[in-house]
Amino acid sequence: MKQRSKCLASLNSRSGCGIYCPTTCGVADYLQKYKPSVEADLKYMENKLGEIANLTKGAQDTIGHFGSCSTDSYLKSSSMLDDIIRFEKSIICSLFSSALQGILESNSKRMLDLKQMSIQLEQKCKEPCKDTVEIQEVKGKGKETQNKNSFPSNYCQDVANKGGKVSGLYFVKPQQAAEEFLVYCEIDNFGNGWTVLQRRRDGSLDFNKNWVQYKNGFGHLTPDDSTEFWLGLEKIHKLSTQSSIPYVLRMEMVDWSGVRKYADYSMFRVSPEQDMYRLTYAYYSGGDAGDAFDGFDFGDDASDKFYTSHNGMQFSTPDKDNDKYDGNCAQQDGSGWWMNRCHAAHLNGKYYQGGTYTEKDAGESGYDNGIIWATWHSRWYSLKETTMKIIPINRLTGGGQNAGVKQFGDI
């Protein structure tokens, strides 16, 4: 274990941090989040300064009056009229004097407010620069196992093989990857090491993103696995195609009653970007959620099942339509996925609190756009939590499947 806390990237130079994203060092995201409130504060300060400038002008005029009063008050006159005018002036002057006192007090209060605001802003500005995250390191590195050649040190199962015992953040480097990147590894007591590709938990992360964002990943990884994220298609591609060892993709889902189900797909692969990150798998290899990836007969049309299957589909985002539909599924649904025409399984869908939603809730297009697994719940029911994760297939055929399900208990 060690602390990595040297991430001082700014909005313009993410090069030092980029390889760790999506991570807690999403400095740009952080700045975006605070920019509106900081701008509002700055605007407020500007207005305050404007007010002070106006008040100062008023004060100058008053001082001018006061000055003339003082001079006048020394003038002597024998006429009664002059005495009356002098008396009147001295009253006005004393009024001006107290008004001036008020302005001065008000000004010093404003100056104090400004000082405090400036201190607050200074503290706020410092925050994005802080970035510490606990990253696990494998103890007993280099431990020889019979699997060493089959599983290069490139993903979470390898981390577990090398002695990694706790779930958390690890650096991995798939064979074709130019550099290492951070992943969340779910490691159970049976030595299974799952590499997590996607998490939905509470709807805190918007999945309506463009091609580049789906390619690079978005959201944040956290050591306690409490946040939502999409690891990124490029990383998923590199992870899933790095060796001849086949992987199982597990979809884990929790509904709003707390019921947990899963679906496993063997020989899961995601092709390179030139092929639009096409999804392929060989077969549905188990689970109690049903095989929604193979499409679903919704009863609208005889071709429903054929046109809602996902095996062999390219990835689509709102700005990149690779689907089998005349329109644009990803744009209509506001999310990225291996769209057909359009889907029976859609774990990147819109988050709906409480689960059930209607055509009206779905917005302009009115199509089902929630987090859907049609063989379990209706397409008008959006799931509460989801996980997509991969593991070498022999970890499950070796009796590890139940172990994996048990591990799911700590979500």
Chain contacts with Ca ion (rule: CB under 5 A): 321, 323, 325
174, 388 Cβ separation under 8 angstroms = no
Which CB sits closer to Ca ion, 157 or 328? 328
Distance CA 389, CA 247 (A): 10
Phi, psi of 322 (to 5 degrees): -115, 20
Tell me the closest approach of the beta carbon of residue 239 to Ca ion, in angstroms: 28
Which CB sits closer to Ca ion, 306 or 380? 306
Which CB sits closer to Ca ion, 134 or 321? 321
Burial class of residue 183 in the structure, from the number of CB atoms within 10 Å of its CB (0-12 exposed, 13-18 middle, 19+ buried): buried
Distance CA 268, CA 46 (A): 57
What size, in residues, is the chain? Answer: 411
Tell me the closest approach of the beta carbon of residue 348 to Ca ion, in angstroms: 17
Cβ atoms within 10 A of the Cβ of 71, count? 9
Tell me the closest approach of the beta carbon of residue 328 to Ca ion, in angstroms: 5
Tell me the closest approach of the beta carbon of residue 293 to Ca ion, in angstroms: 20
Which CB sits closer to Ca ion, 192 or 331? 331
Indicate the DSSP class of residue 223: T
Tell me the closest approach of the beta carbon of residue 276 to Ca ion, in angstroms: 12
Q: Which of 381, 303, 293, 370 is nearest to 339 (CA)?
A: 293
Which CB sits closer to Ca ion, 64 or 312? 312
Tell me the closest approach of the beta carbon of residue 339 to Ca ion, in angstroms: 8
372, 344 Cβ separation under 8 angstroms = yes
Which CB sits closer to Ca ion, 153 or 208? 208
- How would DSSP label each residue in 323-344? SSSSS-HHHHHTS-B--SSS-S
Tell me the closest approach of the beta carbon of residue 341 to Ca ion, in angstroms: 8
**Which pair of tokens denotes residue 106?**
């008000």
Cβ atoms within 10 A of the Cβ of 217, count? 24
Q: Note the Cα 139 to chain centre separation in Å.
A: 31
Sequence-distant (6+) residues with CB within 8 A of 183 are 155, 156, 169, 170, 171, 172, 195, 196, 221, 231, 235, 239
Q: In what helix (H) or strand (E) does residue 259 lie, and over which residues does it extend? A: none
Which CB sits closer to Ca ion, 228 or 323? 323
Which CB sits closer to Ca ion, 316 or 382? 316
Q: Which of 394, 355, 160 is nearest to 253 (CA)?
A: 355
Distance CA 240, CA 249 (A): 9
Tell me the closest approach of the beta carbon of residue 346 to Ca ion, in angstroms: 16
User: Most distant CA pair in the chain: distance in Å?
Assistant: 119
Which CB sits closer to Ca ion, 323 or 368? 323
Tell me the closest approach of the beta carbon of residue 319 to Ca ion, in angstroms: 12
